[in-house]
Amino acid sequence: MLHLPPTALGSPGDWELLAQGAANYVLQRQGPDQDPPDLVSAFLETQIWAPFLQGLNSGNPADLDESYVRLVMGPLVDAKYLPVQHWVPVEPAFLVTLAQRPCLERLDVDVRRVMLMRDSRLLPADTSSGRDLRPRPTVSVEIKPKWGALPHAHTVPPQHRAAKLGASRYQLHQHLKAATGAIEVPSEYDPLDLFSGEAGRVWTALQALGRSPQNNFLTAVDGKPGGLHSASVALLGPCRAVHDTPGAALLTVVRDVLVQEDALAQILDVQRLCSTDIHAVHAQYQALLDAASPEVREQGILPPTPALEAALSLLRDYLTSCTARDCALLLALRRESSGGGPMRPQTAEAPGRVTLHGGGAVFYRLTVIDLDRKPVSKLARHLALDAEIMRVAGGIEPAADHDLE
């Protein structure tokens, strides 16, 4: 059976009564698409992920997402960077009580288990050496690094190669946002710098994020959002935080952590699972849509052929790559109370440690978050956005109403 979310039905206004018999009602979806494309995409979704999720019979999207992180992303990203998740049973009365809050009035009170995970913005209180009667604050830094590579040249249409091979996708997208008024000035941040692994280029990237954070760089103190300079003062004190560039002391710590850890290199490897341009990927997707006739979907599986397996593998790699392109890094930091010791990367059991220039050290925990599945039905939107980005890159005015997210 193909499990579909309620949103697959669209709006109730799309359906009209066709026939009625006894207690049964037959409704027909109106409009040109008598066979809604999202249902066909849902069929393809099962074909794409069957090698990983074939034993999962749950229709709960949360179960599917959890399995995707564990079975697909788990082997690709070191477990020490993944959030620890636990499923626990829950009593209906507990959820009913929560749902009485205005902000939770749409909470599903019929689920029988919920997922618990540690707040990755915080560090456990026992990570500092020595005894401290005044616990130091935990500063968190969230970075959405975006795509840190370029597409394969031979898959890019010739008319787009100068733009796509000359700048990162993030920078090209920034020019589209500036052209449509979504932002005033394009950010100088370049993911190619952040993913380079070179301390100098990583520093350049972090400085650019500090100057123009947009939604790619967020800081908080003990879980409460705040500015870069205030977070730097909270972590290191006012003396260390006085630099020419606001927040430079904190950015220095972040740079040292990112260079010491392998998280960015692992994310980049996942992104490089598919460096095929969206035009070539969408062509394969469209071919599969054409092959997924009603008769084929009735049988529940596409006829296996080498071409089919290659197409499904390409889509699977592309969607997995998209997860890595849209993930986030969450770094929790706290100043060491006392003692000393060398720099060390984090493990699954213990936080990492970086030393400060001038003495002292900072404990940290780096977590990769937002590793959700990307639906194959979004490929048409990816292609349309790419077309708008290329229009701006070619000096053509973009459509004013285009979705820029």
What percentage of residues in the chain have a pLDDT greater than 70?
A: 80
- How much is the mean pLDDT over the chain? 82
C-alpha to C-alpha distance for 24 and 374, rounded to whole angstroms = 36
The CA-atom distances, in angstroms, between 101 and each of 95, 116, 184, 291 are 10, 20, 38, 48
Strands 85-89 and 113-117: antiparallel
CB 291 within 8 A of CB 302: yes
Convert the pLDDT of each residue in 297-324 to its tens digit.
Answer: 777 777 888 988 999 999 999 999 999 9
CA distance 209 to 216: 7
pLDDT range class, residue 46, cuts 50, 70, 90:
confident
- pLDDT band for position 405 (cuts 50, 70, 90): very low
Please tell me the predicted confidence (pLDDT) of residue 246.
64
> Cα(286)–Cα(292) distance, rounded to whole angstroms?
10
Question: What does the domain layout of the chain look like in residue ranges?
Answer: 125-272+319-393
Judged against a pLDDT cut of 80, whether residue 1 lies above it is answered with: no
| Residue of 71, 228, 217 whose CA lies nearest to 146 | 217
pTM of the model: 0.82
CA within 13 Å, CB half, 20? 4
List the structure tokens of 202: 């990583």
| Model confidence at 76: pLDDT above 80 | yes
Residue scoring higher pLDDT (295 or 219): 219
Give the pLDDT score at 257: 98
Query: Contact 150/164 with Cβ under 8 angstroms?
Result: yes
* Rounded distance between C-alpha atoms, residue 194 and residue 258, angstroms: 9
Q: What is the mean pLDDT of residues 28-32?
A: 48
Residue 13, pLDDT > 60, answer: no
Which among 119, 115, 116 is positioned nearest to 60, based on CA atoms? 115
Q: Which residues, in sequence order, are bridge partners of residue 26?
A: 19
- Torsion-angle region of residue 130: left (phi > 0), alpha (psi -120 to 50) or beta? left
CA 334 – CA 98 distance, rounded (Å): 32
- Give the model's confidence band at 395: pLDDT under 50 very low, under 70 low, under 90 confident, else very high: low
| pLDDT for position 21 | 37
The string of pLDDT tens digits covering residues 238-281 is 765 555 566 889 999 999 999 999 999 999 999 999 999 999 99
Angstrom distance (rounded) from CA 343 to CA 328: 24
Extended strands (E) in 7-77: 15-21, 24-29
* Lowest mean pLDDT, pick from 74-88, 183-197, 209-223, 275-289: 74-88
Rounded to the nearest angstrom, the gap between the alpha carbon of residue 154 and the centroid of all alpha carbons in its chain is: 27
Please state, in angstroms and rounded to a whole number, the distance separating the CA atoms of residues 181 and 175: 10
Say how far apart CA 364 and CA 229 lie, in whole Å.
19
pLDDT of 18 higher than 50: no
Position 125 scores a pLDDT of 64
At 194 the three-state DSSP class reads helix
User: What's at 159, amino acid-wise?
Assistant: Q
pLDDT reported for residue 17: 40
What's the pLDDT at 294?
78
pLDDT digits (tens, 9 = 90+) for 344-356: 999 988 999 999 8
Per-residue burial over 61-98, b = 16 or more CB atoms within 10 Å of its CB, e = otherwise:
eebbebbbbeebbeeebbebbbeeeeeeeeeeeebeee
- Tokens linked to 187: 């950010």
In contact, 4 and 39? CB cutoff 8 Å = yes
Average pLDDT over residues 147-165: 95
Range 282-308 average pLDDT: 84
Confirm if 69 and 327 have CB atoms less than 8 A apart: no
Task: Please give the helix or strand (H or E) that residue 39 lies within, else none.
Answer: helix 37-53
CA distances from 157 to 22, 276, 313 (A): 58, 11, 22
- d(Cα 235, Cα 362) in Å, to the nearest integer? 9
Phi and psi at residue 203, to the nearest 5° = -65, -40
Token pair of 2 as six digits: 């193909």
Q: Which amino acid is at 179?
A: A
The predicted model gives 98-126 an average pLDDT of 77
Q: Are 247 and 231 in contact (CB under 8 A)?
A: yes
Query: Which of 279-288, 333-342, 378-387 bottoms out in mean pLDDT, i.e. has the lowest?
Result: 333-342
204, amino acid identity:
T
Look at residue 5 in the predicted model and tell me its pLDDT.
41
CB contact at 8 A, 348 and 80: yes
